[in-house]
A and B are shown apart, each in its own frame.
Chain A
C-alpha cells in the first residue's frame, strides 16, 4: 500500500478569542486529494479550525493561535508568509453563497483579475473551465453578462465554487457549503465534492451527519474545542471509539 502525502497538518494548535480558549491542543494530519469532514455541535470550534487554514480569523480582534499549521510542510503562520498568496493556494467556499454584485463572468474571473490577468481569451477559457468543473456551465453559458445575484441560491453556491477553482488552489475549504440550500442543490454540491476530490484536498465543515457520511473519506469530531476523534469516516460511523462521538452521531445531543 502506497503511503499518501500529508497535505494539511496542525501540530499542538491552540487558538483563543481574547480569553476564550476556542481550540485546545489539536493535532491532525490530512491527506492529499482526500475529503475530510469536520463535525460537532455548534460552538465546538470546527469552523474556527477550518478558518485557521487560510488565516481567515486574522481580522478578528483578539484572535491568536499557538502551535503550527502546516501546508505541504510549511508553517502558514510564519512571518514571511503573505496571507493573500496563501489564500490563492487554499480556496474557500462559505456557508451562505456570497457572489460579488457583478456579472457571472466577472465573479468567476475575479481571482485572475486581481492577479493582473487581462487577456480576454485567457479569462474566458478559465471561466468556462471552472464553470464546467462546478457543473454550472450549461446553466449559465448564455447569460455570462447577467448579474450573479439573479441566480438561485444553489447556482450562486456553485458559482462561488467555480470562482474558488478558477485560481487553481490545491486545497478547498468549505464551511457548511450546503446548509443554506434546498435538498436538490445540496445533492448537486455533494456530487461536485465527490468529483473534485480527484484534484483537490477538501475540508468540509458540516452539521449534517449523512452529508459527512456521503462525501468524506475521513471525519474529525470536535467537542468543546477539542478534537475528540479523527478516523476513516466509515470507522467513525460504525464503531466510534469515544463515548462523546457515539452520543453525537447517534443524535443524543447536538
Chain B
C-alpha cells in the first residue's frame, strides 16, 4: 500500500517534471540558435531593417515586415471576431432561451474543432474569390481573407469565454439594472458587459495570442511575400508562415539562413508569452470580486 502510493506519487511528479523539462528544452534551443543568429546579425539591424530577404543573394534581416504581416492579419481577425463573438455572448446571455443556448453553444464550439488547414483553403478558394467580386484590386493571396477567416476561427473562443464572464456576473446586478427600468439592451451594455469586462478583455487577448501564432490559414491564403505594409489587399508574410517556408525548404542545417527561423521563432514566442501573461495578470488583478 505504502509502496504503491509512493510509486504513483513518483509517476505524477515525473510527468510534471517531463513537461517542464520539455518546455525548458524548447526555450533553450530557441535561445541558443537565436544567440548564434544575433552574433552575426545585430539586434539593431534585425529590428530596423525594412526588408526580410535572408534567402536572397542580397540578404536583409529586418523582422518588421513579418511583424507587420502578423499584426495586420491579427488585427483583421480580431476586428471580425470581437464584435461577432461579443454579440453572440450577449445574445446567449440576455436574450436566448435556456434550451436554445444549450443547443447553440456546442454548435459554435464546433467552429473551433475544424482543422486550420480546412480554414486555410476555405479562405483561398471561397472567401478570396467572393471578395474579389467587389474588391477589384484584391490579390489572389492577401491578408484580408486570411484575417477574416482567422477571425471566424477565433469567434467561438471569444464568444465562449465572454459568455462565461458575463454569466458569472451575479444575478443581483442584472436585477438592479432591470429594477431601475433598464431595457435589455441597456442592461447588457450598461451593466453586464462592463461588469464582465476583465473576462472579455482576457478572451480578446487569448484570441490575439491565438491569431499571432496561427500558421496554416496564413500560410495558405495570405501569400509568402514579406512586405512592410498595412495594405490588406496584397500578399504578405507572417512570422509563422516564414518559419514554415524555411522549414520545408532546403536550407542547410546550421547556416545563417537556417538560424533565421529561430530568430523569427523567438520573436513570436515573446509575443505570445507576453500576451498570455498580460491576460493572466488582468484576470488576477481585475476580476470582480463578488461573493
Chain A interface, number of residues (Cβ within 8 angstroms): 27
Query: Would A88 and B181 count as touching, CB distance under 8 A?
Result: yes
Q: How far is the CA of A184 from the CA of B177 in the complex (A)?
A: 28
Q: Does B98 contact A (CB under 8 A)?
A: yes
**Residue in contact with A96 in the complex, picked from B172, B179, B181, B186, CB distance below 8 Å:** B172
Query: Would A87 and B181 count as touching, CB distance under 8 A?
Result: yes
Q: How far is the CA of A90 from the CA of B186 in the complex (A)?
A: 18
From A72-80, A159-167, A233-241, the one touching the partner chain is A159-167
How many residue pairs link A and B with beta carbons under 8 A? The number is: 63
Query: Would A114 and B179 count as touching, CB distance under 8 A?
Result: no
Q: Does A177 contact B (CB under 8 A)?
A: no
Query: Would A98 and B173 count as touching, CB distance under 8 A?
Result: yes
Query: Would B175 and A94 count as touching, CB distance under 8 A?
Result: yes
Query: Would B180 and A110 count as touching, CB distance under 8 A?
Result: yes
List, in ascending order, chain B residues with CB within 8 A of A91's CB: 179-180
Chain B interface, number of residues (Cβ within 8 angstroms): 20
Q: How far is the CA of A101 from the CA of B177 in the complex (A)?
A: 12
Query: Would A167 and B176 count as touching, CB distance under 8 A?
Result: no
Q: Does B194 contact A (CB under 8 A)?
A: yes
List, in ascending order, chain B residues with CB within 8 A of A86's CB: 181
**Residue in contact with A87 in the complex, picked from B97, B180, B194, CB distance below 8 Å:** B180
Given contacts A100-B191, A100-B195, A101-B194, contact A114 B182 (CB under 8 A): yes
Query: Would A101 and B179 count as touching, CB distance under 8 A?
Result: no
Q: How far is the CA of A23 from the CA of B190 in the complex (A)?
A: 34
List, in ascending order, chain A residues with CB within 8 A of B28's CB: none
Query: Would A85 and B180 count as touching, CB distance under 8 A?
Result: no
List, in ascending order, chain A residues with CB within 8 A of B186's CB: 114
List, in ascending order, chain A residues with CB within 8 A of B97's CB: 61
List, in ascending order, chain A residues with CB within 8 A of B170's CB: 98
Q: Residues 158-198 of chain B: 1 if any A CB is under 8 Å from the residue's CB, otherwise 0?
A: 00000000000010110111111111001000110011000
Q: How far is the CA of A202 from the CA of B187 in the complex (A)?
A: 25
Q: Does B288 contact A (CB under 8 A)?
A: yes
Query: Would B176 and A100 count as touching, CB distance under 8 A?
Result: yes
Which residue from chain A places its CB closest to the CB of B186 in the assembled complex?
A: A114
Q: How far is the CA of A96 from the CA of B291 in the complex (A)?
A: 11
- Most central of B175, B179, B195 by chain A CB within 10 Å: B179
User: Which B residues from 255 to 273 make CB contacts under 8 A with A?
Assistant: none
Q: How far is the CA of A84 from the CA of B184 in the complex (A)?
A: 9
User: Which A residues from 45 to 85 make CB contacts under 8 A with B?
Assistant: 54, 56, 59, 61, 84-85
Which residue from chain B places its CB closest to the CB of A110 in the assembled complex?
A: B180
Q: Does A111 contact B (CB under 8 A)?
A: yes
15 example contacts (A-B, Cβ-Cβ < 8 A) are as follows: A61-B97, A85-B181, A88-B181, A91-B180, A92-B175, A94-B179, A98-B172, A100-B195, A101-B173, A113-B190, A114-B183, A114-B186, A163-B176, A164-B179, A164-B180
Other than the known A98-B176, A100-B176, A100-B195, what 7 A-B pairs have Cβ atoms closer than 8 Å?
Answer: A87-B179, A87-B181, A96-B172, A99-B176, A100-B191, A115-B181, A163-B176
Per CB-CB distance, the 5 closest pairs between chain A and chain B, nearest first, are: A98-B172, A87-B181, A88-B181, A92-B179, A98-B176
